[in-house]
C-alpha cells in the first residue's frame, strides 16, 4: 500500500471517529464545537465536479472559469446537459425543490429542466433569458411560446436575417 493511500485512510478514520463522537451527543454540540482539537462542519468537495450542495455553490463552481455572461450561460447549459436526461417529470406531493431534483433524480422534461436552469440563472442575478430563432422554424417558435417566451425587438440584432428574438423573465 502506498504512503499516500495509507495517509488518506488515516485521515478518513480520524474524520469518521470525530463525526461519530460529535453525533453521539447532539446536546453538547455548542460545547463540542469549542473543544480544542475537535473538528466540526466538515465539507468534502470534489476537485473537478461541481459542488451541488446549494444553488449558490453550484453556480460558483460551474462558472468558476467563465469571464462573460455568455460563457456562464453556456457553462450552465452544458452542466444541465451532462447531469440530466430527458425522461419524465419526477413527481412528489407538494412539488419538488430544485436541489432535490438535481441531486436525487437527475431527470425531467424540458419544462422542469428550464425551471432548474432558471433557478441557477437567478443565482447569477439575471432577470431575463433571451433566445433567437428563424421565423420559419415553426417547431422552435412553438416551443418558445409554450415555455412563456415573448417576442421583443433588441437594440442590436445578433441573429441571421429573418431571425425572431424572444425573451422570458427568469
Average pLDDT value for residue range 20-46: 64
Model confidence at 11, in pLDDT bands (50, 70, 90)?
very low
CA 107 – CA 96 distance, rounded (Å): 12
Give the sheet arrangement for strand 163-169, strand by strand: 128-134, 163-169, 150-151
Q: Is the same domain home to 103 and 138?
A: no
Burial of 46 (0-12, 13-18, 19+ CB in 10 A): exposed
CA 42 – CA 28 distance, rounded (Å): 17
Average pLDDT value for residue range 116-143: 87
Q: Is the same domain home to 66 and 120?
A: yes
Average pLDDT value for residue range 22-42: 63
Model confidence at 62, in pLDDT bands (50, 70, 90)?
very high
Q: Quick one: pLDDT at residue 5?
A: 56
Q: Is 37 helix (H, G, I), strand (E, B) or coil?
A: coil
Q: Is the same domain home to 97 and 69?
A: yes
Q: Is the same domain home to 55 and 95?
A: yes
Residue 45 within a domain: no
> Does the pLDDT at position 6 exceed 80?
no
Rounded to 5 degrees, φ, ψ at 70 are -60, -45
State the residue for C-alpha cell 433569458.
Answer: 129
Range of the domain at 8: 3-34
> Does the pLDDT at position 60 exceed 90?
yes
Percent of the chain with pLDDT over 90: 12
Kindly report the pTM of this predicted structure.
0.60
Residue 66 within a domain: yes
Task: Report how many domains make up the chain.
Answer: 3
Q: Is the same domain home to 24 and 55?
A: no
Amino acid at each position: 500500500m502506498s504512503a499516500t493511500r495509507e495517509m488518506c485512510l488515516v485521515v478518513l478514520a480520524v474524520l469518521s471517529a470525530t463525526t461519530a463522537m460529535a453525533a453521539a451527543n447532539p446536546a453538547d454540540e455548542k460545547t463540542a464545537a469549542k473543544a480544542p482539537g475537535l473538528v466540526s462542519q466538515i465539507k468534502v468537495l470534489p476537485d473537478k465536479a461541481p459542488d451541488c450542495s446549494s444553488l449558490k455553490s453550484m453556480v460558483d463552481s460551474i462558472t468558476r472559469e467563465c469571464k462573460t455572461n455568455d460563457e456562464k450561460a453556456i457553462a450552465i447549459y452544458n452542466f444541465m446537459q451532462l447531469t440530466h436526461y430527458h425522461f419524465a417529470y419526477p413527481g412528489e406531493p407538494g412539488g419538488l425543490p430544485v436541489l432535490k431534483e438535481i441531486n436525487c433524480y437527475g431527470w425531467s422534461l424540458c419544462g422542469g429542466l428550464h425551471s432548474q436552469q432558471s433557478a441557477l440563472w437567478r443565482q447569477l442575478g439575471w432577470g431575463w433569458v433571451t433566445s433567437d430563432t428563424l421565423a420559419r422554424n415553426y417547431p422552435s417558435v412553438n416551443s418558445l411560446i409554450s415555455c412563456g417566451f415573448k417576442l421583443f425587438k433588441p437594440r442590436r440584432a445578433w441573429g441571421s436575417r429573418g431571425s425572431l428574438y424572444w425573451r422570458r423573465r427568469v
